[in-house]
């Protein structure tokens, strides 16, 4: 079904195909979003009218290309990546896609990069995509909220993990990272959220989508 939807509805050009395939050159091959998921991110950014986007987890920059194209010429994407190796791959992909000038890649621990943005009193972001190491999800949400405004939309990837996330006693810190962030969202009166499961070329997984109301 994903192949059919992508063939029918998702306009991946050579730069996107190359970015997706170059995932193999990163420290985490195959972790990038599927083409129809990248298109979903792009649609959400446009629906929100976002011009300032923050991304946790760049890898090869596949989702970054979708986000950067969606913000348009006057827009800006800040993407946080731990590994220089991945940032180098991403930079080439962003250049090929014609959007490198509107993307800032910050290399290093994403929590520290985000703290630098907070310390610099960076203008709030309109849209945030959290898709990096899962144990840090609660920290990334906290940082995102400090870098947001009422109306900011946040999307978190990989909140299902083949159903593993239902296991409250899991010893997998990635599972606990997802569970903790969901509990944090539920307790935060400023946030409206829902989660959706996805099935497709990336297996069985899901997204959480939230909006900061105030």
Q: How many residues bind Mg ion (CB under 5 A)?
A: 3
Contacts of 33 (CB under 8 A, 6+ apart): 41, 62, 63, 66, 131, 157, 202
158 binds ligand DHB (CB under 6 A): yes
Site membership for ligand DHB, residue 157 (CB under 6 A): yes
Instruction: Write the burial class of residue 41 (CB in 10 Å: 0-12 exposed, 13-18 middle, 19+ buried).
Output: buried
Q: Which does 209 bind (CB under 5 to 8 A by kind): ligand DHB, Mg ion, none?
A: none
Q: Which of residues 137 and 148 has its CB atom nearest to ligand DHB in the complex? A: 137
CA dist., res. 191 & res. 155, Å (int): 12
| Binding map of Mg ion across residues 129-148, x = CB under 5 A, - = no contact | --x-----------------
- d(Cα 78, Cα 203) in Å, to the nearest integer? 28
Give the number of residues in contact with ligand DHB, rule: CB under 6 A: 6
Query: What's the closest the beta carbon of residue 57 comes to Mg ion, in angstroms?
Result: 7
Could you say which of Mg ion, ligand DHB, none residue 12 binds, taking C-beta under 5 to 8 angstroms by partner kind? Answer: none
Smaller CB separation from ligand DHB, 68 or 156: 156
Other CB atoms within 10 A of residue 183 CB: 11
C-alpha dist (Å) from residue 89 to 16, 21, 119, 125 = 13, 11, 28, 25
Question: Binding of ligand DHB at residue 31 (CB under 6 A)?
Answer: yes
Stretch that binds Mg ion, among 82-90, 112-120, 151-159, 187-195 (CB under 5 A): 151-159
Pairing of strands 153-157, 203-212: antiparallel
Shortest reach from residue 121's CB to ligand DHB, in Å: 29
Residues in contact with Mg ion by CB under 5 A are 131, 157-158
């Amino acid at each position: 079904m994903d192949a059919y939807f992508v063939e029918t509805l998702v306009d991946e050009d050579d730069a996107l195909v190359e970015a997706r395939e170059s995932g193999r050159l990163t420290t985490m091959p195959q972790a990038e979003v599927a083409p129809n998921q990248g298109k979903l991110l792009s649609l959400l950014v446009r629906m929100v009218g976002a011009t300032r986007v923050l991304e946790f987890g760049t890898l090869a920059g596949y989702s970054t290309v979708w986000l950067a194209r969606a913000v348009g010429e006057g827009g800006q994407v800040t993407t946080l990546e731990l590994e220089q190796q991945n940032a180098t791959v991403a930079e080439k992909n962003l250049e090929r896609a014609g959007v490198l000038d509107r993307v800032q890649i910050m290399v290093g621990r994403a929590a520290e990069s985000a703290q630098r943005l907070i310390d610099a009193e960076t203008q709030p972001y309109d849209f945030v995509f959290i898709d990096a190491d899962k144990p840090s999800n609660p920290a990334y949400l906290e940082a995102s909220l400090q870098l947001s405004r009422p109306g900011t939309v946040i999307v978190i990837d990989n909140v299902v993990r083949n159903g593993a996330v239902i296991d409250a006693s899991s010893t997998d810190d990635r599972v606990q990272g997802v569970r903790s962030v969901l509990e944090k969202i539920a307790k935060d009166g400023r946030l409206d959220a829902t989660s959706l499961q996805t099935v497709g070329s990336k297996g069985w997984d899901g997204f959480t989508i939230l909006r900061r109301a105030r």
